[in-house]
Amino acid sequence: MPTIDFPKQDFDSLIGRTFTLEELEGWMLLAKGEFKGYDAETDELKVELQDTNRPDLWCAEGIARQIRVKLEEGPRSYSFFKPAKKTLDQIVVGHGLHVTRPYVGGFKATGYTLSEQGLAQLIQTQEKLADIFGRKRKSVSIGVYRLDPIQFPITYALADPDSTRFTPLGFDEPMTLTEILECHPKGIEYKSTLIGHDGKQHCPLLTDAKGIVLSFPPIINSREIGEVRVGDKNLFIEVTGTDLRMVLHALNILATNFADRKAKIVPVEVIYPAPTEFGASIQVPYDCGSELEVPQENITTLLGESLTMNEGKQALIEYGYQVKSRGKILSVKQPPYRDDLMHPVDAIEDIAISNGYHTFPTALPSEFTVGGLSQAEMISDKVRELMVGFGFQETLSNILASQEDLVARMNLSDTAIIEVDNVMSLTYSCVRQWIIPSLLRVEAASSHSFYPHSLFEAGEIVQPDQDAESGTRTLNALSALLAHPNANFSEMHSYVDLLFYTLGLSYTVEPITHPSFMDGRVGQLTVHGKPCGLLGELHPQVLDNWQIAMPCAVFELTLDKLTIG
């Protein structure tokens, strides 16, 4: 979830009204914004935005706009989305870009002076959009330039990486595209985004009519015209990407932001070599918002309230929508800076947000249901109760552990366990296949705690199982450990015997050999004719591996196997 900072005074001026911090916290709900702090010295507000589908809200302009629409009881119109009467300057798209980064768009922002605050906000918005919405520039990246030196038309085309040279931001000398990718920090960081569907590297380039390079998207701007400074009055903003809707969406957000800061937006025409879903020639910014029908009935079903058609309509208008009512259906269209309307439920949520969740009455589910526990949980609760009665202290461990603890320290060698592929820490890189190591973890850390130690844990384990849907099985197990100077098989056997007796199960213990246990002092427990666990004295080598200086007798039972008749 993005978190952004902005000066409160800048925010107030965008809304056109000064709020107290308390008031602001309430108004932020409209933008799913959570107030994270305010620094009175720098006047900086910190806000976290919850909605990952609303990139328009990841900036001061966007939050202010969402609040302003409510205050003004409806959206302002942004005239630059209307078809232009005059001929527009162009961006011409070359051939061959479809394998890599096919889409581009841009607009001019004029008659406005870039302030220090404005520039800081612009950079923040650009970063949030490119990083989060644009998936680290892969899907969408943004360039901002000084408009005055640019000669239209601009060309967007693939370039030869070795013969094309320009001076990138941050450097003093012209470099080839290959050199930029090898040496420039941004080249190194974003190089991987240039790999196309064909698995090859392609280098898109934006140049103006004189052949001067604007930028090498999504890597770096040219220093000549791609370095924007405080005081600049006329800007050119460009977005490139792999998804046309996303490119247009990002441009619409940026254009409305500039417009809200009183800039004049001059559209640009983009000419594609082949038709796109919005045609071969697109006037940008372009409102690609589609209309959606929201039946009155759906609103009632979802919100449990018989809002009148007009109330629903008004709530949506006050949230920025264009709404027409036709009979019992609202035909709604989102503002161009949004593109998150997938289903009527999305618009219905906006009705609830627009009116405020606190305005809704609350009701309890009226239909009767019977509560209960799963069989696994009931068995687990039963044996936990018995073990506590037997005098054992319950423990609770992480299910993730190390290969070392689960296998090596237990004297095991080729036991298959479930390992994590993307390991964060070796200590937590495997899923436990039995619980005994979890108990030994406690025992090894607790020699200072007075003896005897009688411990148990009931919990989940995961074992590989080729017959299972996921190749693994999550099982419920119970394990106990006795540690004191005379802990032995016989004492633990008494508890196992009492446990089975109390559960009304008959069982057998058969001698086996097991590397974790002493020879001649380990048995396999069998119930219903199937092996279900182990009982024995741990091998001194195992105790030594765990640096435990006390004899330990243990048992482990797979609880799921007790119920199979």
Report the site for other proteins in 344-383 (rule: CB under 8 A): 344-346, 348-349, 352-353, 357-358, 360-374, 376-377, 381
Beta carbon nearer to other proteins, 92 or 303? 303
Q: Could you tell me the smallest distance in angstroms from the CB atom of residue 320 to other proteins?
A: 15
Which among 52-60, 226-234, 312-320, 513-521 is the span making contact with other proteins, rule CB under 8 A? 52-60
- Mask: binding to other proteins, 275-314, rule CB under 8 A, as x and -? ---------------x----------xxxxx---------
Among residues 306, 338, 255, the alpha carbon closest in space to that of 55 is found at 338
Token digits of residue 106: 């841009």
> Could you tell me if 40 and 23 are in contact, meaning their C-beta atoms sit under 8 angstroms apart?
no
Distance of CA 220 to the CA centre of its chain: 27
Q: Which of the residues 468 through 527 are near other proteins (CB under 8 A)?
A: 469-474
CA distance 116 to 229: 9
CA distance 212 to 549: 77
CA distance 259 to 336: 13
Q: Could you tell me the smallest distance in angstroms from the CB atom of residue 58 to other proteins?
A: 13
Residue that the structure tokens 């302002």 belong to: 76
Token digits of residue 174: 């012209």
Beta carbon nearer to other proteins, 177 or 299? 299
Pick the binder of other proteins from 9, 113, 398, 490 (CB under 8 A).
398
Q: Is 52 in the site for other proteins (CB under 8 A)?
A: yes
Q: Could you tell me the smallest distance in angstroms from the CB atom of residue 328 to other proteins?
A: 16
Q: Could you tell me the smallest distance in angstroms from the CB atom of residue 506 to other proteins?
A: 25
Residue that the structure tokens 């082949």 belong to: 274
Give, as one character, the DSSP assignment of residue 201: B
Q: Is 441 in the site for other proteins (CB under 8 A)?
A: yes
Q: Could you tell me the smallest distance in angstroms from the CB atom of residue 53 to other proteins?
A: 7
Q: Could you tell me the smallest distance in angstroms from the CB atom of residue 394 to other proteins?
A: 4
CA angle (419, 463, 526) in 5-degree steps = 150
Beta carbon nearer to other proteins, 13 or 298? 298
Beta carbon nearer to other proteins, 213 or 455? 455
Token digits of residue 532: 């279900």
Q: Which of the residues 108 through 167 are near other proteins (CB under 8 A)?
A: 132, 135
Which among 180-188, 206-214, 456-464, 551-559 is the span making contact with other proteins, rule CB under 8 A? 456-464
DSSP H or E run through 17: none
Beta carbon nearer to other proteins, 360 or 501? 360
Q: At what angle do helices 344-355 and 309-317 cross, to 10 degrees?
A: 80
Q: Is 448 in the site for other proteins (CB under 8 A)?
A: yes
CA distance 448 to 34: 47
Q: Please, how many CA atoms are within 13 Å of residue 429, restricted to the half-sphere of its CB?
A: 12
Beta carbon nearer to other proteins, 351 or 518? 351
Distance of CA 123 to the CA centre of its chain: 22
Which among 103-111, 209-217, 225-233, 453-461 is the span making contact with other proteins, rule CB under 8 A? 453-461
Among residues 361, 364, 342, 246, the alpha carbon closest in space to that of 294 is found at 342
- CA dihedral of residues 377, 378, 380, 386 (deg, nearest 10): 160
| Count of CB atoms situated within 10 Å of the CB of 212 | 15
Q: Is 418 in the site for other proteins (CB under 8 A)?
A: yes
Q: Could you tell me the smallest distance in angstroms from the CB atom of residue 231 to other proteins?
A: 37
Among residues 345, 331, 354, 364, the alpha carbon closest in space to that of 301 is found at 345
Q: Could you tell me the smallest distance in angstroms from the CB atom of residue 273 to other proteins?
A: 23
Beta carbon nearer to other proteins, 89 or 443? 443
Strand (E) positions, 134-234? 140-146, 154-158, 165-166, 175-176, 204-207, 213-216, 220-221
Beta carbon nearer to other proteins, 322 or 403? 403
Which among 311-319, 404-412, 416-424, 501-509 is the span making contact with other proteins, rule CB under 8 A? 416-424
Q: Could you tell me the smallest distance in angstroms from the CB atom of residue 339 to other proteins?
A: 10
Beta carbon nearer to other proteins, 106 or 459? 459
Residue that the structure tokens 């232009």 belong to: 84
Beta carbon nearer to other proteins, 52 or 486? 52
